[in-house]
């Protein structure tokens, strides 16, 4: 009998691609998903891209009965269910805490009654806050915070104690967390609860800290999702993408196809149990570079980004992945270049309809004083 794998939040962007990856490698797959309107639209229908070979259970991860139903006969669990959005998490505190923190607790309590071979939790680069830096003397700086006074003055780069700009470095898993938003706090809570309970009850557990994942099936009408999807929504509606600060923030953008391969490797690699891995491309790009590259691929070169020169509470300056541990233990080898990934994304975007709600989301932040 082929192994049955449960993916909580499996109807979403990354989860649905993981379904395809697992099915292609001989697994059976079940999804537990509440089909959130913010992600899937008001009709809350199962997406057409979900394979008919996937077993689908509609329900919330914070509902114990739905979770117990979804876990029947399952060999391993990917826990992807989460509310996602840095800015939104700073005012929808109850929603993010209920889904991310309580939902994880409900899942873990149900797992205590079942013997699963592996639990893999989707964590996030957001747990790092600012990435790793070095100062002018070559010392590593693990805690680089920007003051409100500095941000109001438009001085975007983190500074040393002497007032000089720090240089960003690739961030390894050993960097201590620095939680800058409710979303980051909840993802760290998910990660730690899973690792803690996994260790206590001998459930082999792996945490994957995803960096900026992009690709087809992103929720284009969700203004709180990844920056690539937000830019795509603006371009599709012939509107300027809005970039916070000056656009020179550095990020690691990784294709969803590389990410789901890493997920499968985390399931199949015995030595992965008990470990935390960065999952990125191992490269970095500025946000402005990505907007420019996307405009060219979509034939929207005449639409120039709007550089807001404003700071959004919860945002960080630079963070990109050191993926050496994932390479060594998982055999993870990202193969999709940004150019290739954007071409694939552009092909999927043809014919897509995006309800651009970015201005509404920005207005909510301004109303609450969450931009500077």
Tokens representing 302 are: 């005449």
DSSP structure class, residue 202? T
Tokens representing 266 are: 């985390």
Q: Could you tell me the pTM of the whole model? A: 0.95
Within 8 A by CB and 6+ apart from 63, the residues are 106
CATH topology of domain 4-217+253-282+314-335: Rossmann fold (3.40.50)
Question: In Å, how far are 257, 268, 286, 328 from 265, measured between CA atoms?
Answer: 13, 5, 29, 12
Question: In Å, how far are 132, 211, 238, 260, 336 from 280, measured between CA atoms?
Answer: 15, 5, 30, 11, 11
Could you read off the pLDDT tens digit of each residue along the chain, which spans 372 residues? Answer: 689 999 999 999 999 999 999 999 999 999 999 998 888 877 778 898 999 999 999 999 999 999 999 999 999 999 999 999 888 899 999 999 999 999 999 999 999 988 899 999 999 999 999 999 999 888 999 999 898 889 989 999 999 888 888 999 999 999 999 998 999 999 999 999 999 999 999 999 999 999 999 999 998 877 777 889 899 999 999 999 999 999 999 999 999 999 999 999 999 999 999 999 999 999 999 999 999 999 999 999 999 999 999 998 888 999 999 999 999 999 999 999 999 999 999 999 988 877 777 778 778 877 887 787
Quickly count: other Cβ atoms within 10 Å of residue 172's Cβ: 15
Within 8 A by CB and 6+ apart from 318, the residues are 130, 131, 133, 158, 168, 249, 250, 251, 284
For tokens 């992807």, what's the residue? Answer: 80
Quickly count: other Cβ atoms within 10 Å of residue 332's Cβ: 24
How far is the C-alpha of 48 from the C-alpha of 29, rounded, in Å? 16
How far is the C-alpha of 204 from the C-alpha of 117, rounded, in Å? 7
Domain segments of the chain: what residues?
4-217+253-282+314-335
Question: In Å, how far are 79, 218, 220 from 352, measured between CA atoms?
Answer: 28, 11, 9
């Amino acid at each position: 009998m082929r192994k049955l794998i449960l993916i909580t939040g499996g109807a979403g962007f990354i989860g649905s691609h993981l379904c395809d990856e697992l099915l292609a490698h001989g697994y059976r797959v079940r999804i537990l998903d509440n089909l959130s309107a913010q992600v899937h639209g008001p009709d809350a229908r199962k997406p057409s891209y979900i394979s008919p070979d996937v077993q689908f259970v509609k329900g919330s991860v914070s509902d114990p009965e739905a979770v117990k139903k979804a876990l029947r006969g399952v060999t391993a669990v990917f826990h992807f269910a989460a509310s996602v959005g840095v800015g939104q998490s700073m005012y929808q505190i109850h929603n993010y805490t209920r889904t991310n923190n309580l939902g994880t607790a409900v899942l873990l309590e149900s797992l205590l009654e079942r013997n699963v071979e592996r639990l893999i939790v989707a964590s996030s680069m957001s747990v790092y806050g600012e990435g790793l830096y070095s100062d002018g003397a070559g010392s590593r700086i693990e805690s680089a915070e920007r003051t409100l006074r500095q941000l109001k003055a438009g001085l975007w780069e983190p500074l040393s104690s002497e007032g000089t700009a720090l240089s960003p470095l690739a961030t390894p898993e050993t960097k201590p967390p620095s939680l800058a938003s409710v979303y980051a706090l909840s993802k760290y809570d998910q990660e730690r609860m899973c690792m803690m309970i996994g260790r206590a009850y001998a459930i082999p557990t792996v945490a994957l800290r995803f960096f900026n994942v992009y690709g087809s099936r992103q929720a284009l009408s969700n203004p709180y999702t990844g920056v690539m999807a937000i830019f795509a929504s603006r371009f599709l509606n012939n509107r300027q993408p809005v970039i916070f600060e000056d656009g020179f923030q550095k990020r690691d953008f990784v294709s969803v196809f590389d990410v789901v391969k890493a997920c499968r490797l985390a399931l199949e690699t015995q030595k992965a149990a008990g470990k935390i891995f960065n999952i990125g491309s191992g490269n970095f790009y500025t946000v402005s570079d990505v907007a420019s590259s996307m405009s060219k691929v979509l034939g929207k070169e005449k639409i120039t980004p709007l550089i807001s020169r404003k700071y959004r509470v919860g945002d960080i300056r630079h963070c990109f992945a050191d993926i050496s541990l994932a390479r060594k233990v998982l055999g993870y080898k990202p193969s999709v270049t940004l150019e290739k990934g954007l071409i694939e994304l552009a092909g999927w975007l043809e014919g897509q309809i995006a309800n651009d709600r970015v201005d509404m989301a920005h207005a909510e932040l301004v109303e609450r004083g969450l931009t500077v």
